[in-house]
Amino acid sequence: DVKVTQSSRYLVKRTGEKVFLECVQDMDHENMFWYRQDPGLGLRLIYFSYDVKMKEKGDIPEGYSVSREKKERFSLILESASTNQTSMYLCASRSRDGNYEQYFGPGTRLTVT
């Protein structure tokens, strides 16, 4: 089974802090994704990585950056956290040769105070 893990289930940070959310997958997938999930808005794509060191902005990249130094790990960075970044963050991965099916981690619920 594909396993996608995220470093924290719950995180509380202060406004202005730099926040790192880590995601690791164990299936050698080329593609990895970061989404944020908010009530009534569904999942919105923040960033996408199609290979090591390769990244592409999603629909809502403002205020975020990403890092992918190794194939299995994809990090989401909030350079200066703000209260409007309080949300559930979901990481996903998929094989480049697959049928677009994405495999999700358990999510990190981030609260910025």
Q: Which is nearer to other proteins, 20 or 50 (CB)?
A: 50
For residues 74 and 23, the answer to whether their CB atoms sit within 8 Å is yes
Distance in Å, CB of 1 to other proteins, minimum:
11
For residues 86 and 63, the answer to whether their CB atoms sit within 8 Å is no
Distance in Å, CB of 7 to other proteins, minimum:
14
CA–CA gap between residue 35 and residue 8 (Å, rounded): 15
Distance in Å, CB of 39 to other proteins, minimum:
8
Which amino acid type is present at position 52?
V
Q: Which residues bind other proteins (CB under 8 A)?
A: 4, 9, 31, 33, 35, 40-43, 45, 48, 50, 58, 90, 92, 94, 96, 99-107, 109
Distance in Å, CB of 91 to other proteins, minimum:
8
For residues 109 and 8, the answer to whether their CB atoms sit within 8 Å is no
For residue 108, how far is the Cα from the chain centroid?
9
Q: Which is nearer to other proteins, 12 or 18 (CB)?
A: 12
